[in-house]
Structure 1
Amino acid sequence: MNNNIKTPKKLIEVALPLDAINVAAAREKSIRHGHPSTLHLWWARRPLAAARAVIFAQMVNDPGYQQGGGFRYGVNKEKAQAERERLFKIIEDLVQWENTNNEEVLDRARAEIRRSWREVCELNKGHPQAAELFNPDKLPGFHDPFAGGGALPLEAQRLGLESYASDLNPVAVTINKAMIEIPPRFAGRAPVGPVPSGEKQAKLHNDWSGAKGLAEDVRRYGAWMRSEAEKRIGHLYPKAEITVEIVKERPDLKPLLGQKLTVIAWLWARTVKSPNPAFSHVDVPLASNFILSGKAGKESYVQPVVEGSKYCFTVKVGEPPEEAKEGTKAAGRGANFRCVLSDAPISGDYIKAEGQAGRMGAKLMAIVAEGARGRVYLTPTQEHEDAVRQAQPTWKPSGNVPARLTGGTCVPYGLTEWGDLFTPRQLAALTLFSDLVGETIAKVKTDALAAGLPDDDEHLAGVGAGATAYAEAVGVYLSFAIDRLAMTGNNLVRWNSVGEKAQHSFGRQAFPMLWDFAEPNFLADATGSLSAGVFYSYDPLPLLPTDTAGIATQLDAQSQTISKNKVVSTDPPYYNNIAYADLSDFFYVWLRKPLRAIFPELYATLAVPKAEELVATPYRHGGREQAEKFFLDGMTAAMHNLAEQAHSAFPVTIYYAFKQSETKDEAGTSSTGWETFLQAVLDAGFAITGTWPVRTEMRTRQVAMDSNALASSIILVCRQRPVDALTVSRREFIRELNATLPEALDEMTRGGVNSPVAPVDLSQAIIGPGMAIFSQYAAVLEADGTPMSVRTALQLINRFLAEDDFDHDTQFCLHWFENFGWATGKFGDANTLAQAKGTAVAALVTAGVLDSSKGDARLLKWSEMPSDWSPETDARLPVWEALHQLIRALNQDGESGAGSLLARMPARAEPIRALAYRLYTLCERKGWAEEARAYNELVTAWSAIEQAAGEAGVLGSQAQLDI
């Protein structure tokens, strides 16, 4: 980096419309149709909305500031804020899913980026490297060195930047190639494949702009693959015929008599030999439950029928008995079952021994077929049992399933290699599909040449853009379809009895053992079929940008040189998070088979590289301390690499997936992972100029609050620290915090250039201005001359969320609540605390916030406060009482009722809001989810409450300005 570069502050260093970004990011999590994430599973993807907004704000100059901190509009802050509002409107439009490919909206954003870039170029036209660094006619490139699922490079490309993505993981690199590299190379081309039989060309559109032609070819050749598979292995997937005998047992099936129904899935239970010596020759089922459908009015379940030393399964319709909900599972946790023949216990240790000895099998419990009005559940037949036995796989993936994973692993039960996770029928089909990709590539090339596409003999891995490369490109997307099949077609797939579909095996980031599993029909058209896999491979392609080039490569972030003079935004690994290299081997072993010929260097190794993955995994590095050192050293090197190379005209933005469970200690927002990550960033030479809490992991508020797990990312905005940065003492640092943080906190809670920060995010947001002070110095020295740790700095910053600036009664309530919550304490303790806070127990009782009797004392909950309370006539009105009365009004009378009450005590408005923030932070730290919800909901509704109060005509003009 060149510190002599002149650059205005960027918008992201000053202001962001967080509410609009968070709402859009949350909404995006429920969008599937057309979303690039459906191309291939990757973990912890950033929402496109957040990525787009961050990169835009990272590149656009803030209207208020020029080089050196001067105002562009002199002292006219109002004009600067009006300009920010205009930029905010662009962001608000930009983050909407419907505007993903809205060229009018995108052009406005691109124009602002170019305008800001020209301003920077003008400022630096005398710079000795101006020709290299400041070409006003060409935007800098973008780079993400931890590209992962590719959201950041994709959105940079959408905003008009030449985009570079790199990652150590070959699966991630392939995903990025499919998103940013391949579509632009083949943009605007008509499809070359023949229209599938039964379709008419007239039904298809002839607009082949962007990647629409490529998408259509993936669809057409995917249909050809399915047709070929039907010819070769269709016998392995028999239909379910509804016979007279079946109808006798199930009169509800009479309307289907004589029909041959397409099977959606076969449902299996694992088996082991009975531990009872009398039945040791029998394979008995391990079923966690026998429920097939839990839908009201459509209930179905499996019933085991025992006859001596034999048993079979039959399917019943109607309300299931209680025992059906338990299957053969015994009471208690873990792998404890009972023998269906003798009721003898089957211990987890016994099951593990059987599995490791290769004696674990599977028995068909039920068949799920497609009826005219939904799913039909059928009793197994010998024909369907035998079909799977006919499968003779010629290949299976090798490599070890991870033996240690947070969330569980199936390895102790004998499923030790990747091939063990599939039934013989699944292995035979997946192998055939992989082979068909090779045949399809040859077919595409022939058709492309016949359609007039030239062949330059260059491959996709190089610079090829002719028939050979195009055929390989189609093969990449069809390979993704096979990976999706593997994900939904293995023996760790659960049957969802509510949604009546197979749930893919990555419900959590692990491979936990599953006792009863669903085997989808690959040749049907439902979830888990080849048709569905192909659909998700072509459906997102038309929405991918194609006007700007993209390049994805496999590189280590610690040594890569792509970042040189580029805009950098990245989402690095998070300390001891899930080891994606272990998980992604599941996909790698299937991708490697068809793609090794296309990307020989990318798929040269037998498995995904693991030793270099920047995750603090103790089992890889010999213990927790060694793992922490590995992560800190590696992340520091990677961040230092960015600090040295990234274009100095722009800050670097770094995502950190913050979890609320990391804030449970009394120090406030601190954790080993967070501290270690921050330490790496600062040790790399970065100074933090801002932090933004963005909801990139959003779940529903109810779930998030109940689990006390905040789903946010902290976006760090960083610039290289000057080489001549000063060293200051602890006292000077605290003095600067005291001068800066109160105003920053007020800005966050009241709203100014930004929308107000929600209480749930406040402890993270306050880190920004605090760490901006801490990180600008070479070191902050303690009294003994040692450098202050990041942990200590965070503790000092978080103190500002705990300062008591309320009336004496409220201070008592705060401290009592912190120690006792709503529970009862001793009168003596209450009396001592009241005296210390300058009040008295009797006064608190009179104020209506405390109940005291029989030597005890407790705070009154909001639900216990009188609904006829009048703030005008209350002679003693602490902020605590006003806050909880307002919560009562909100819950009982809604926002209008709360607004009417607030209008009657306008002077209490700001203290009420400040106290709500304070109490939310306290509850969050304590893990009191229910209590925290009440305070968070009040602040979330604050604007509406103030608006209702303003409409009542009593709140003063100042309160109106604060909205």
Structure 2
Amino acid sequence: MADRRFIEEFLPIRDIGESSSKEKRIRKGHLSTLHVWWARRPLAASRATIFSSFIPSETNSKKISNSSDFLSKLSKWEYSDDLTILQKARKKIFESNKETWPKILDPFTGGGSIPLEGIRLGLDVSCVDSNPVAVLIQKCALEYSMKYGSIIKEPISQSIETRKNKLIEDFEKWMKWVNEKTRSEIEEFYPKKNPNEILVGHIWCRNITCQNPKCGLSIPVFNQYWLIKTKKEKASLFPFVKDGKIQFKIVGDNYEKFPEGFNPSKGSISNGNIICQSCGFTIEKKHTINEYYEKRTTQKLICSIFTKKGSAGKKFRLSDSEDLKILENATKFLENKINQIKSESNIDPIPNEFIITPDNKEYVKGGLYFNFTTVVLYGKTKWSDLFNPRQTLSLIVFSDYIRKAFSEMLNEGYEKDYAKAIVSFLTLAIGRLANYGSELCHLNPAGGGRIANTFGVHVLKMVHNYMESNPFYESGGGWNTSNEMIKKFLKNVEICPPKPANVKLGTASNLPHSNEYFDAVITDPPYYDNIAYSYLSDFFYVWQKRILYNIEPDLFSTPLTPKSHEIISNLPLIRGMDKNVAKEKFDFLKSKKDFEESLSKAFQEIYRVLKKDGITIVVYAHKSTDGWETLIKSLLKSGLVVTAAWPLNTEMKDRLESRDTAALASSIYMIARKWEKIPLGFYRDVKKELEVYLTKKLEYLWSEGISGADFFISSIGSAVEVFGKYEKVVDDSDSSISPIKLLNDTRKIVTNYAINKVIRGEFASEISQMARFYILWRWAYGNTKVPYDDARKMAQSVGIDIEHEWNKGFIVKENEIISVLGPHERKGEEMSKSPELIDNLHNTLLLWKNESKESIEKYLTEKGYKNSEIFKRVAQAISESLPMESIEKKWLDGFLTGFKSDDSQGGTQSKLF
């Protein structure tokens, strides 16, 4: 095979990125619908990068263009099951690799995106993961579906044949069997009020007693009161006081009219503080949490959601005494069912394992907790606490019949491994049922009254008014939806070659493979402190082990998922104790240093198992430069040499815009080889090489539409291509230059390039450091908040010490977060005497907002900006960097319309009004 691969020379990043971001909206047949796993890589990007890693580089421009066009097509979802396209890709890989199928490994397999696309392209795939929930997903998606899910052609006559997928048929058979058995036991607890209704679910709320001694009402806790809020329909709950109680009625389209002055978006709780709807008394967050923890709160069923046969949309009805009686009966039935299962199966069906805390104990008030499990502060300290009695009942009965289904299959003569495969898919369906069936789910009014699942984000936080779904509802979070999702996935992958992945429970720092075994290692390693996979996946593990403990004992023999081998820095995630004190007291907590050492071992193992002419792709998308520095140091220690780096857009635009803190749209795909490094590089030479290469690479990234924070992060991978090929970089006095210093140099190069591009060149050198920082911030982060260390490094790149500037002007520090204020968040008197351009611009905008034309002219004349092209260009650059909905942008655009052309001096100048 050619020494250089196509991916090392070129990649159509715009097209692949577009396919990847679009893919996030796909549900039918997509791997993501099989079971929750966090931060899965897009299939489009995985497919394209794997393919381009196994075909040779091209020098002919026409061949490059043809390969690029094919890559763009291959990355599209609509071609993921197109046999013609896939066979062409497989043929190209096979011929480019001496007519052998390359062997690839993903040592951090997670949700399985990378290996799935390897199988789809015909490769021999191996997977390793330390998490049993992830391994179960992988066995279903990458092993069982390939082993048992091939199409069987059966002749009906001489001219007609039928195509069957036995796995799909048998899976559907047992899904229905489990559903019918469960329905026969508990359907009575999900009744219809009339034959034309279909119950969707229920709305619950927590209740807390007003602490005003003169009031004492039970306050229903709602974040907001909307039930449905779409363009076509709007309805909400309306709270009112009657007979000494806070009661509700439903208002809106097809109900009573909205009361005048009522705002359904304003609930009874805001930022943890609860306001009594009767007396107006405020219960502070600290007291609220204490009341919850001490179990001095209650929960109440408020209303039911249903649809009517033959009509679209959701309907709502207040709950009544009949609904409460049904709940009472369900609770009694649950008690009996628990005892029955204990007697028959010798297991406790209730997941009473505690939600683990940093000290590996059940949370107690005032103790340690993680920032991603704040639900424990409210007394939800066990996994069973996250489900109400009826939700618990449905989960334990479905689980019970899945266990029984395994025995039934064996009795019917199924091979044990095949029965295990079907039961594993059924167990994934239980995971989805739990995800849509906990007290942490909520109603999504803007989504037409649909349920929002537990893991919309990767945290477990308190939901005060939650939605309970009907598990027998044919859509949404019901059992039947799980059935359809899994069937569609199996249908999508039946076109894959029958080459099951080799799936192993293990650790990336001690791989179970021989030296130089793989042609490629392609992986998405953990992101520093971003996602605590082992802790979050316990949510699913506690249910899955109750089904598979005897069927998959290698995966489900421990009380909770193993934590010791997870590569993570969880020390930054603890709350309730100083981090340094916590590390001394609990040495099993993992610091940045621990993370770096573990990741270094993993990369060393990757180096060991990779063939000499093999290729590695490392995918990384952490937004903090701290996380990136740790990754780079670990990668360089392993001996791998980075030969290319590409940013691929992998996030939906609307998802990014909804965030309050900085996020990346792109993941960086770094390509590395097992090549000999250059023994020594001199800093002065390396720095020049860095400037020349980065400028060329930045031009390409800019032309491909990479911008903002992604532009900075993308440059890191490109910089490592330069300095990572040296064993050692030294200065003129023979002192070693650290990668951190070289990354700082990179930031300065990128900063200067970006400023020149944003300002459009000619005035960049004439503006102050503070103005450069402000423009750069708005371009990179917009209005979002940024971790202190990232902000510090950006400030450093323009020559500012951020510690000397915060809380004096537009830079504000709150805890470990930095934000940059806009003009609408500042006061004119604070800025009027400042010589700083940004302060003058902000003050001008305040004057413009107050419609004081004469004051603006006078002020700008005094400051020397009345006819300043620099002033105008800075204002334009900031405006062009901000989203359309930004208040600052609207003010800037309004103000800029006051600049008009003046040709009186033979040229074009800009002036105000």
What's the TM-score, normalizing by structure 2? Answer: 0.76
Conserved? CA contact 1:495–1:503, under 8 Å: yes
Conserved? CA contact 2:106–2:521, under 8 Å: yes
- Residues 727, 527 of structure 1: alpha-carbon distance in 2 compared, 3 angstrom cutoff: same
Conserved? CA contact 2:197–2:307, under 8 Å: yes
Q: Pick from 851, 857, 867 the counterpart of residue 865 of structure 2.
A: 857
Residues 764-804 of structure 1: CA deviation (Å, up to 9, x unaligned): 44434432221111111245544222221112223333457
* Whole-angstrom distance in 2 between the partners of 1:306 and 1:609: 51
Amino acid of the structure 2 residue aligned with 1:19: R
Q: Pick from 639, 647, 659 the counterpart of residue 693 of structure 1.
A: 647
* Whole-angstrom distance in 2 between the partners of 1:290 and 1:405: 30
- Residues 17, 385 of structure 1: alpha-carbon distance in 2 compared, 3 angstrom cutoff: same
Q: Pick from 253, 261, 274 the counterpart of residue 336 of structure 1.
A: 274
Residue 354 (structure 1) aligned with residue 305 (structure 2): no
* Whole-angstrom distance in 2 between the partners of 1:829 and 1:287: 45
Q: Pick from 558, 566, 572 the counterpart of residue 605 of structure 1.
A: 558
Partner of 1:912: none
Residue 467 of structure 2: SS of its match in structure 1? strand
Displacement after TM superposition at 1:92 (Å): 1.4
Partner of 2:301: 364
More divergent stretch after superposition (533-542 vs 550-559): 533-542
Residue 390 (structure 1) aligned with residue 357 (structure 2): no
* Whole-angstrom distance in 2 between the partners of 1:930 and 1:612: 47
Residue 230 of structure 1: SS of its match in structure 2? helix
Displacement after TM superposition at 1:489 (Å): 0.8
Displacement after TM superposition at 1:33 (Å): 0.8
* Whole-angstrom distance in 2 between the partners of 1:557 and 1:278: 62
More divergent stretch after superposition (605-614 vs 732-741): 732-741
Residues 607-636 of structure 1: CA deviation (Å, up to 9, x unaligned): 111122111111678449961011000000
Displacement after TM superposition at 1:549 (Å): 2.4
- Residues 787, 399 of structure 1: alpha-carbon distance in 2 compared, 3 angstrom cutoff: farther
* Whole-angstrom distance in 1 between the partners of 2:458 and 2:672: 31
Partner of 1:590: 543
- Residues 741, 238 of structure 1: alpha-carbon distance in 2 compared, 3 angstrom cutoff: closer
Residue 97 of structure 2: SS of its match in structure 1? helix
Conserved? CA contact 1:571–1:656, under 8 Å: yes
Amino acid of the structure 1 residue aligned with 2:166: G
Displacement after TM superposition at 1:813 (Å): 5.8
Partner of 1:381: 320
Partner of 2:508: 557
Q: Which residues in structure 2 correspond to 1:524-673 (within 5 Å)? A: 524-544=473-493, 545-562=496-513, 564-566=516-518, 567-618=520-571, 622-623=582-583, 627-659=591-623, 662=624, 671-673=625-627
- Residues 303, 54 of structure 1: alpha-carbon distance in 2 compared, 3 angstrom cutoff: same
Q: Which residues in structure 2 correspond to 1:146-185 (within 5 Å)? A: 146-185=108-147
Question: Gapped runs of 5+ residues in structure 1?
Answer: 1-5, 65-79, 119-135, 193-200, 242-258, 450-454, 456-466, 663-670, 831-850, 866-879, 888-915, 936-963
- Residues 799, 12 of structure 1: alpha-carbon distance in 2 compared, 3 angstrom cutoff: same
* Whole-angstrom distance in 2 between the partners of 1:551 and 1:683: 28
Residues 175-196 of structure 1: CA deviation (Å, up to 9, x unaligned): 111111001221347799xxxx
Residue 262 of structure 1: SS of its match in structure 2? strand
Residue 621 of structure 2: SS of its match in structure 1? strand
Residue 240 of structure 1: SS of its match in structure 2? coil
Partner of 1:97: 77
* Whole-angstrom distance in 1 between the partners of 2:265 and 2:651: 33
Amino acid of the structure 2 residue aligned with 1:86: N
- Residues 782, 931 of structure 1: alpha-carbon distance in 2 compared, 3 angstrom cutoff: farther
Q: Which residues in structure 2 correspond to 1:679-828 (within 5 Å)? A: 679-700=633-654, 703=657, 708-722=662-676, 725-746=678-699, 748-749=701-702, 761-782=710-731, 785-803=734-752, 811-812=765-766, 817-818=771-772
Q: Pick from 143, 157, 172 the counterpart of residue 105 of structure 2.
A: 143
Count of matched residue pairs: 760
Residues 373-430 of structure 1: CA deviation (Å, up to 9, x unaligned): 3222112111111212222331311222255344552111111100011011111110
Displacement after TM superposition at 1:929 (Å): 11
Conserved? CA contact 1:690–1:772, under 8 Å: yes
Partner of 1:845: none
Displacement after TM superposition at 1:60 (Å): 1.1
* Whole-angstrom distance in 2 between the partners of 1:615 and 1:357: 33
Amino acid of the structure 2 residue aligned with 1:177: K
Amino acid of the structure 1 residue aligned with 2:670: L
Displacement after TM superposition at 1:501 (Å): 1.4
Amino acid of the structure 1 residue aligned with 2:528: Y
More divergent stretch after superposition (164-173 vs 400-409): 400-409
* Whole-angstrom distance in 2 between the partners of 1:817 and 1:357: 52
* Whole-angstrom distance in 1 between the partners of 2:352 and 2:476: 26
Q: Pick from 225, 229, 240 the counterpart of residue 294 of structure 1.
A: 229
* Whole-angstrom distance in 2 between the partners of 1:513 and 1:704: 20
* Whole-angstrom distance in 2 between the partners of 1:763 and 1:931: 23
Displacement after TM superposition at 1:308 (Å): 3.6
Residue 227 (structure 1) aligned with residue 166 (structure 2): no
* Whole-angstrom distance in 1 between the partners of 2:889 and 2:283: 44
Q: Which residues in structure 2 correspond to 1:301-320 (within 5 Å)? A: 301-304=236-239, 306-310=241-245, 312-316=247-251, 317-320=255-258
* Whole-angstrom distance in 1 between the partners of 2:20 and 2:80: 13
* Whole-angstrom distance in 2 between the partners of 1:27 and 1:355: 41
Displacement after TM superposition at 1:547 (Å): 2.5
Displacement after TM superposition at 1:816 (Å): 8.7
Displacement after TM superposition at 1:507 (Å): 1.9
What's the TM-score, normalizing by structure 1? Answer: 0.72
* Whole-angstrom distance in 2 between the partners of 1:756 and 1:513: 39
Residue 496 (structure 1) aligned with residue 431 (structure 2): no
Partner of 2:850: none
Displacement after TM superposition at 1:807 (Å): 7.2
- Residues 19, 310 of structure 1: alpha-carbon distance in 2 compared, 3 angstrom cutoff: closer
Partner of 1:431: 396
Structure showing greater Rg? 1
Amino acid of the structure 2 residue aligned with 1:553: K
* Whole-angstrom distance in 2 between the partners of 1:40 and 1:676: 30
Conserved? CA contact 1:706–1:930, under 8 Å: no
Question: Gapped runs of 5+ residues in structure 2?
Answer: 339-348, 358-368, 776-821, 824-830, 838-858, 894-913
Partner of 2:22: 27
Residue 223 of structure 2: SS of its match in structure 1? coil
Conserved? CA contact 2:205–2:301, under 8 Å: yes
Displacement after TM superposition at 1:561 (Å): 3.0
* Whole-angstrom distance in 2 between the partners of 1:766 and 1:104: 37
Residue 644 of structure 2: SS of its match in structure 1? strand
* Whole-angstrom distance in 1 between the partners of 2:232 and 2:742: 60
Partner of 1:471: 419
More divergent stretch after superposition (420-429 vs 263-272): 263-272
More divergent stretch after superposition (284-293 vs 375-384): 284-293
* Whole-angstrom distance in 2 between the partners of 1:406 and 1:57: 40
* Whole-angstrom distance in 1 between the partners of 2:451 and 2:161: 36
Amino acid of the structure 2 residue aligned with 1:287: F
Conserved? CA contact 1:314–1:366, under 8 Å: no
Conserved? CA contact 1:576–1:616, under 8 Å: yes
Partner of 2:817: none
Amino acid of the structure 2 residue aligned with 1:818: R
Amino acid of the structure 1 residue aligned with 2:530: N
Q: Which residues in structure 2 correspond to 1:122-133 (within 5 Å)? A: none
* Whole-angstrom distance in 2 between the partners of 1:165 and 1:858: 65
Amino acid of the structure 1 residue aligned with 2:4: K
Amino acid of the structure 1 residue aligned with 2:167: L
Amino acid of the structure 1 residue aligned with 2:272: G
Residue 678 (structure 1) aligned with residue 613 (structure 2): no
Displacement after TM superposition at 1:174 (Å): 0.8
Residue 538 of structure 1: SS of its match in structure 2? helix
Q: Pick from 16, 20, 40 the counterpart of residue 11 of structure 2.
A: 16
